[in-house]
Structure 1
């Protein structure tokens, strides 16, 4: 979807952090932006930037787990700007850090509700509208580097982000032959307030009796690193998302430093494939089940180059 001028983007979790960075990038590339978020104060603050820069934007308070509210938000977005072309499923939370077996059922219900069900709600409610108008479009869902390479002590988070990545790979497969694309957005470290905002939007019924704080650094661990050299800005990752939409990328990644980890994981999977002769008859039968043993959607991903924006 190369031409974004005048198109409409609907962005969940768009009032701060990564979501706001994506919203700003979409606006800079000529899009009308609908910023949906569960926090009214964050929406009010975000709207100031769009007004100051004379970018068309609409803010909508939305809990992505509330399906009737999501339908109303989609109607409101269309009433304000017309047809929606790009859906950014960015709303996400963190919960249950630490050993997975120590996470609570409340942690699980909270993080799955937002990070997985919330993404599906967007696909179910917004995507049919995009397909119906026939003008083309794109769906991006925010997974994480932790949705491609496991991160210790973050089992619930990684579980949901792996699910999002798989959901988008499947959606891209299902959308082949249409003029709508789909991307799994898997950023590395980005300056955001995920932990703080997660606590803000956590329903009272899903709060733990006592929330655990992260443990302090172990003695002798040395000085803290310069996070500004490690964390990417939301504005930069926003530009990377827009580039991915325009290129039609299946995966949108941000940090080249994770290449070795990606290679290691995928090589581990390949080493787990039994080293034995193929059952040709079985292989031929499996081939009849569509993309069961080989999915050509992966062939659509081309090599991404260095940043091409100012």
Structure 2
């Protein structure tokens, strides 16, 4: 989808953080942009940032776990801007803490937002995109925790790994159609994810206050760092836009995570039995439509340098 000018984007979690960074990058590229968010105050603040521009931006209050709300949001977006061409399923919550002490409420909140928030967007908009038949692109936000496990973030990693598999499968399914698919793996970004997680958690999924403990029963370690070294949301938005234009399956932001990716992939390769392939089994695998390797991976291009202004 190289030409985006005049096209319409729908972004969840679009009123702050990475979603707002995408909204800015898309609008600056000449797109019409719908920013959807559960927080009205955040929507108002985001629209104030666009007030001095002539960008076509429209806010919609949306709880991504509300399926009826999705239908209403889609109808409103299309009534304002017409067909949706880019669907950025970015809304998410950061659930931290060891799985040993996580509750059903923690799991439910995590899954409802981080997984079903993406599922609800796909079920709502993918048929609409297929019906209008124009060139489109779907990008869902995973995480560096979606390709490499992070201790004390098991719930979050579970959801983000799910998004990875969902987008890779969708890209395979839609290969050869006008709809491209990307999985977005951001590293540390200057966002307020931790603060908004508590803000948007519904009352019926709140836990009783408990002392924080780590897997060893002790209080968790506190890490100190300078958040100013994190990537800005504006740069993140440009990187996502570049990935959409290139048709990349994987959109990465931080080269610093390359050693971790290599270490995990090397471990997977070392786990493979060193023995001849059973050709009869391989032939059966092909019958199910899955090759010994997925050709969509071959289309990922080499990325050289940050996006240019």
TM-score tier after normalising by the smaller chain length: over 0.9
| C-alpha contact 2:238 2:307 (8 A) present in aligned 1 | no
Secondary structure class of the residue paired with 2:51: helix
State how far apart, in whole Å, the 2-side matches of 1:143 and 1:18 are. 12
Q: Kindly report which structure 2 residues correspond to 1:187-198, keeping only aligned pairs within 5 A, or say none.
A: 187-198=186-197
1:84–1:268 Cα change, 3 Å: same
Aligned to 1:238: 237
Matched pairs, number: 304
Residue 285 (structure 1) shift: 2.1
Aligned to 2:173: 174
State how far apart, in whole Å, the 1-side matches of 2:26 and 2:211 are. 37
State how far apart, in whole Å, the 2-side matches of 1:89 and 1:213 are. 31
Residue 279 (structure 1) shift: 1.3
- Give the TM-score normalised by the residue count of structure 1: 0.95
**Cα offsets for 1:281-304 (capped at 9, x unmatched):** 222222222125321111111111
Which runs of structure 1 show a deviation greater than 4 angstroms over 4 or more consecutive aligned residues? 211-218
Aligned to 1:263: 262
Aligned to 1:91: 91
Aligned-residue RMSD, C-alpha: 1.4
State how far apart, in whole Å, the 1-side matches of 2:139 and 2:67 are. 19
**Cα offsets for 1:141-194 (capped at 9, x unmatched):** 000011011111000000000000110001100111101100000000001111
Where structure 2 has 5 or more consecutive residues not aligned to the other structure, the ranges are 214-218
**Cα offsets for 1:179-235 (capped at 9, x unmatched):** 1100000000001111111111111000011165695756xx8xx433322x11111
1:151 equivalent to 2:150? Answer: yes
Aligned to 1:275: 274
Where structure 1 has 5 or more consecutive residues not aligned to the other structure, the ranges are none
**Cα offsets for 1:253-309 (capped at 9, x unmatched):** 000010010000001011111111221222222222212532111111111111231
Aligned to 2:202: 203
Q: Kindly report which structure 2 residues correspond to 1:214-253, keeping only aligned pairs within 5 A, or say none.
A: 217=221, 224-229=224-229, 231-253=230-252
Aligned to 2:114: 115
Secondary structure class of the residue paired with 1:189: coil
State how far apart, in whole Å, the 2-side matches of 1:195 and 1:188 are. 15
